Structure 1
């Protein structure tokens, strides 16, 4: 899927699911430093901000993959499934952070 196709599909999903924010994982090192992948994620978030009508936020995704592995007790699973589980942890972490900031 190229960038145009991705953006168009995201626009459809945003309308269908009534999404009001996009969270993009920001993969920094354990020490908190940026990497090549961090830059790619930032560029992706900028692309989305340019073409989507909802806010796009970067959020630290450190340890989400490890947590996904731990949650499945190290069971072998397709990378896609592990990535989906890691994304779930990322979103929950974001929601928890927002909740704690509002109290």
Structure 2
């Protein structure tokens, strides 16, 4: 299975995803959860090619679009469940 990379906007998002990864067994390596910052050029580029990155198991979670925490959780679930061959998926528990 390919490694998954997740780019997050802030340190709080990285902490949240790290905890979620441990609790839900998402199979992410801590070093693959990358805080790129909202003003970072990488975040702008990543946002513009989000669809292409998902095809390569690279997931992006930004809260700059004013999503609530619950909306972000749903977005993560949706992204991880889109590939039905994934070994680790979030469950609605």
TM-score normalized with structure 1 length: 0.28
Give the helix-richer structure, 1 or 2. 1
Tell me: higher relative CO, structure 1 or 2? Use CA pairs within 8 A at least 6 residues apart. Answer: 2
TM-score normalized with structure 2 length: 0.31
Whose radius of gyration is greater, 1 or 2?
1
